[in-house]
Amino acid sequence: MNRYKVFFDGYCVLCTRFAAILLKRIGASVCLIAMQSDRGKEEMGKLGVKSDPDEIILLDDEEVYRGAKAVLFLMREAGGFYKLGSGLIRIMPEWLVNRGYRVVARNRYGWFGKRDTCYLPLQKETPD
């Protein structure tokens, strides 16, 4: 059963690579949902979140994490090098981490590219 729902930008190359890493490292514990998909729009609407935010969103036991906080949480869950990286980043002041996240988020298409079609990860469907 999925422990986490992750809403990500299905057109962003960086975001989709991160989603693929999560699928590989966390597996069945994560439900990946592209924000631009019909399911993404519907579920985000139920959460009261705009349909195409510029940050990753994580839903964990009805708690919502956004942006850098969501990425760091997921890196920790992914374990290994990602957990170490998360720990090192958490040493930095929160305002600096958030600002760094915003800079990457604003420039993600230019720096990493944009897909022509929305990425929908192949994963086993599990009951919510």
**pTM exceeds 0.75, yes or no:** yes
Paired tokens of 42: 């519907």
Side-chain half-sphere of 74: how many Cα atoms within 13 Å? 34
> Taking a C-beta distance cutoff of 8 angstroms, is the pair 10, 114 a contact?
no
Per-domain residue ranges for the chain? 4-112
SS3 114: strand
Within its chain, how far is the Cα of 112 from the centroid?
16
pLDDT digits (tens, 9 = 90+) for 79-124: 999 999 999 999 999 999 999 999 999 999 999 999 988 887 765 5
What long-range pairs does 94-97 form, CB within 8 A, spacing at least 24? Answer: 97/68, 97/72
The CATH number that domain 4-112 falls under is 3.40.30
